[in-house]
Chains A and B, each alone.
Chain A
């Protein structure tokens, strides 16, 4: 099974900051990596797929990069609506997906 590890688990930042969340896979997932945003009481929302492809309707301040085992999600200029929990997910084969443990982005 492929294990996904996100860091940090919690991140405190201010509106206007640039933030980066890292996701590491226990083995290569090439670029089969997605990022989701989840707010309390709501289902997750897809932000990025195929490591760096921006989902339709997602603001361009969100970007993803990486390949193999190391990936990053960057938010270039934090907005109030961005404070949420973020998850990475590998889907390198249809037979076993897995998520990272999540990163909670808090207001400093």
Chain B
């Protein structure tokens, strides 16, 4: 069974940091582009970042450039998102996705909640 399990979310003060993790199972993780997608409360989906199979290419939405870093460990079937200088507008559920359909996200985790508030 294909599975993505996120962890690392929580409550953090503005300016703080969090590191999200996502562990994959049931598919060949090292063959997939992987992404992080977020959804603010009551809002739509926003693509945040993605990373190539070997980690050699990484891309970010403009609003997180310079603050967030995506990475992966293929030996551990794991995806990460280091989030620094967090802002209230980063509050959202963060989903880990596997982009196996020519770039479309065919597998999704259940999400982890990140709340930025004082």
Q: Which residues of A contact B (CB under 8 A)?
A: 1, 32, 34, 36, 38, 43-46, 49-50, 53, 55, 87, 89, 91, 94-102
Offer 29 A-B interface pairs, CB within 8 angstroms, sorted by A.
A1-B62, A32-B103, A34-B103, A34-B105, A38-B45, A43-B95, A43-B110, A44-B45, A46-B101, A46-B104, A46-B106, A49-B101, A49-B102, A49-B104, A50-B104, A55-B101, A55-B106, A87-B44, A89-B45, A91-B99, A91-B102, A91-B104, A94-B57, A94-B59, A95-B57, A96-B47, A96-B59, A97-B35, A99-B45
By a CB distance below 8 angstroms, the chain B residues around A101 are 44
Chain A contact residues: helix, strand, loop or mixed: loop
Q: Which residue of B lies closest to A38 (CB)?
A: B45
| Cα separation A96 to B46 with both chains bound (whole Å) | 11
Q: How many residues of B contact A (CB 8 A)?
A: 24
